[in-house]
Structure 1
Amino acid sequence: MKRLLFIPLIIICLAVLSFQDARQINFKIQGEAQGTTYQISYYHDKEQVTKYQIDSILEVIDQSMSLYRPNSLISEINRSKKGVILDSHFLYVMKHAFKINEDTDGAFDVTVEPLLSAWGFSSTKTETLPSKETIAELLPLVGMDKIAIKGKRLKKKHPDVSINVNGIAQGYTVDVLANFLKSQNISSFFIELGGEIKAEGRKPDGSQFTIGVEGPVNSSGRVSIKHLAYLNNKAITTSGGYNQFIEKDGKKYIHILDPKTGFPVESDILSVTILADDAITADGYDNAVMAMGMSHAMEFLQQRPAIDGYIVYQRPDGTVLDTMTNGFKTIIKN
């Protein structure tokens, strides 16, 4: 009798859980921040998070790391001659920046701001390309050996070093928003900020969050969606030269610079999509992997179990192909 009663009890419990899931409502928040747009979708039986709360978090991070704000912390750092005390946001980002810089042999470098400004890829815009002489003058200011973290202080070893954390800050912001949602007892959500994405949990009907993964440019010159992927408790970011570039005398220069030469990267990789547990990691590696070129990129990814990647690349004959790591294949929707 106990076993016979136990089975109906399981059915009743499952029915109650299904009813609770059915009561969950899809709440959506969207807006603008960090020079781009954001959207958040989460499920709960009542509104747990408001747009005001999200915008307040984004405001604090912008006040820390936005180059477009003259009174931001990063602007203060770049004006200073010796360095300044960092807030918790900036300190966390810089510690990750040093790790990724070391792991990528300097391909990821937050001190490239003088070069980015010279090329017009930062808050400073220009109509002319920098000369070789200008780049040669700026290169001594570039390199993360020119800065150090001592406690909470960022110290400059050269007074004219300046920093740009745009290559990692949006990923970090996505993680901050994800942690905030979880602190509000939200276990099912999707966050997108400027193309950087993180999703956790499942929808009330049990389905997973699905995203489109960009493939090669199609015949009309637009980026196409090549794959659909499930995203559960993972973050994904993409770097490519499709949209961020300048064109001069018929030649395109992408926004990713080689810190060693000072010039935009000329890579056979057209775009890189990185999958990781957190968005700060994915965001920090995507530009660096793109700069490596196919000769090194796949080997680099396969040696690092914490990250996986999908790469669109061009062969010498002009053929455009794509490839992915085994870990990335596990999220592709068949």
Structure 2
Amino acid sequence: MFYISKYLFLLFPLIVFLFNGKKNDLQEYNIHGYAQGTDYSVKYFAADSLITKYAVDSILSVIDSSMSLYKPYSRIVKFNKSNDGLDLDPHFATVMRKSFEVYKATNGKFDVTVAPLVQAWGFGPKRIDKFPDSAEVKELLHCVGMNNLYLKGNRLTKSKACISVDLNGIAQGYSVDVLAEHLVKKGIKSFVVEIGGELRMKGPKPDGSSMRIGIEGPAITSNAEPVIRHIISINKGAITTAGNYRKYLQKGAEKVAHLIDPKTGYPLSNALISVTIYAEDAVTADGYDSPIMAMDVKEALNFVKSKKGMEAYIIYHKKDGSVADTLTKGFKKMIVQ
């Protein structure tokens, strides 16, 4: 099971997919299970059951053995315990290369070395009794920073023994992509793969209609249950969401969100409530949604507009405390309701 910097139980902005339509001569197959600390679902149309639950579980198990902080035998745990680094398996290496890309593009807002801070604020594998004070945060920041990591080929090294890696802010999207590519290799042309609200789809459905996906967000009244705010229609690509209105910890009067700012060492506290990203693949959408949460609304929109093939839907607090939303032109074109 993973634990996320975003974070893997994915109880924040949930994306619900709608997969109805005339099946023609193809049948709809559904596989459901539990992996990486959350539920997963694989839905596809085919003439026969080409994908088995065993195959899906096996793929996810291999990824867990690579990048799960909860598996003591995983490669990532071994790296974190090492003094200077080690050779990575192909899954780990691929995700690290993408992580460096996102780190550079977001000027360090995305940083996979936040594991000590994630744990200190109570979102890691171990329980905590109290939140860290400023002195503890300052000390932990000495062991944070992707500038302390170096990837050459498949070997990842670190300049400080205390540096540890947490890939849960991006590895789940990667897992979605691996499953999606498995379906494509099997010749499946219409599917939705979803893990904990992160999804990738390919269409259209057999009747020619597009996939429809419900985008969840907070209700207008603060105490009400989240609601489906919009329904979008697309035929390919990935959708992921990062947010802070579902996933948080509270001790007494203190309430902290699970998204940690790697520059300050403290949980994010800004106007953004959630960010939903569309991209061609899930690892890209997943990697960018959390660091975009660390931006203000204008910066976030401008950043997404600068990225080819990326679109965004943003929910945020206005200065008067009310909830509002905004989106890119491309995302607006996807909305059907």
User: What are the within-5 Å matches in structure 2 for residues 7-46 of structure 1?
Assistant: 22-46=24-48
Measured after TM superposition, the shift of residue 150 of structure 1 is: 1.3
How many residues are paired up?
Answer: 315
> 2:119 — aligned with what?
117
- TM score, norm. by length of structure 1: 0.92
Of residues 284, 291, 308, the one that matches 2:311 is 308
The alignment partner of 2:71 has SS state of coil
> 2:173 — aligned with what?
171
Give distance in 2, aligned partners of 1:215 and 1:232.
Answer: 22
Give distance in 2, aligned partners of 1:295 and 1:277.
Answer: 23
> 2:7 — aligned with what?
none
Give distance in 2, aligned partners of 1:184 and 1:50.
Answer: 11
> 1:285 — aligned with what?
288
**Which amino acid is the alignment partner of residue 297 of structure 1?**
A
Measured after TM superposition, the shift of residue 217 of structure 1 is: 2.6
> 1:263 — aligned with what?
266
Q: Percent sequence identity over matched residues?
A: 45
Of residues 234, 242, 259, the one that matches 1:231 is 234
Is the 8 Å Cα contact of residues 198 and 282 (structure 2) preserved in structure 1?
yes
> 1:245 — aligned with what?
248
The alignment partner of 2:262 has SS state of coil
User: What are the within-5 Å matches in structure 2 for residues 1-334 of structure 1?
Assistant: 22-219=24-221, 220-334=223-337
- TM score, norm. by length of structure 2: 0.91
The alignment partner of 1:111 has SS state of coil
Give distance in 2, aligned partners of 1:186 and 1:295.
Answer: 40
Measured after TM superposition, the shift of residue 221 of structure 1 is: 2.5
**Which amino acid is the alignment partner of residue 148 of structure 2?**
K
Q: Where has structure 1 moved over 6 Å in runs of 4 or more?
A: none
The alignment partner of 1:106 has SS state of coil
Give distance in 1, aligned partners of 2:209 and 2:125.
Answer: 41
The alignment partner of 1:286 has SS state of helix
**Which amino acid is the alignment partner of residue 267 of structure 2?**
P
Structure 1 portions without partners, runs of 5+ = 1-20
Is the 8 Å Cα contact of residues 37 and 193 (structure 1) preserved in structure 2?
yes
Measured after TM superposition, the shift of residue 125 of structure 1 is: 2.0
Is the 8 Å Cα contact of residues 218 and 245 (structure 2) preserved in structure 1?
no
Measured after TM superposition, the shift of residue 218 of structure 1 is: 4.0
The alignment partner of 1:292 has SS state of coil
> 1:11 — aligned with what?
none
**Which amino acid is the alignment partner of residue 199 of structure 1?**
M
Measured after TM superposition, the shift of residue 124 of structure 1 is: 2.0
Can you list the C-alpha shifts for 1:46-96, whole angstroms capped at 9, x where unaligned? 111100000000000011010011111111011111111100001000000
Measured after TM superposition, the shift of residue 172 of structure 1 is: 0.3
The alignment partner of 1:300 has SS state of helix
Which protein, 1 or 2, shows the higher relative CO under an 8 Å CA cutoff with sep ≥ 6? Answer: 2
Can you list the C-alpha shifts for 1:205-248, whole angstroms capped at 9, x where unaligned? 11221111123334342211110011311100011112211113
Give distance in 1, aligned partners of 2:156 and 2:318.
Answer: 42
Give distance in 1, aligned partners of 2:188 and 2:242.
Answer: 29
Structure 2 portions without partners, runs of 5+ = 1-22
Measured after TM superposition, the shift of residue 146 of structure 1 is: 0.6
Give distance in 2, aligned partners of 1:275 and 1:234.
Answer: 7
Give distance in 2, aligned partners of 1:37 and 1:218.
Answer: 27
Give distance in 1, aligned partners of 2:89 and 2:73.
Answer: 14
Give distance in 1, aligned partners of 2:289 and 2:67.
Answer: 20
**Which amino acid is the alignment partner of residue 156 of structure 1?**
K
The alignment partner of 1:217 has SS state of coil
> 1:13 — aligned with what?
none
The alignment partner of 1:166 has SS state of coil
**Which amino acid is the alignment partner of residue 269 of structure 1?**
L
Higher gyration radius (CA): 1
Is the 8 Å Cα contact of residues 243 and 274 (structure 2) preserved in structure 1?
yes
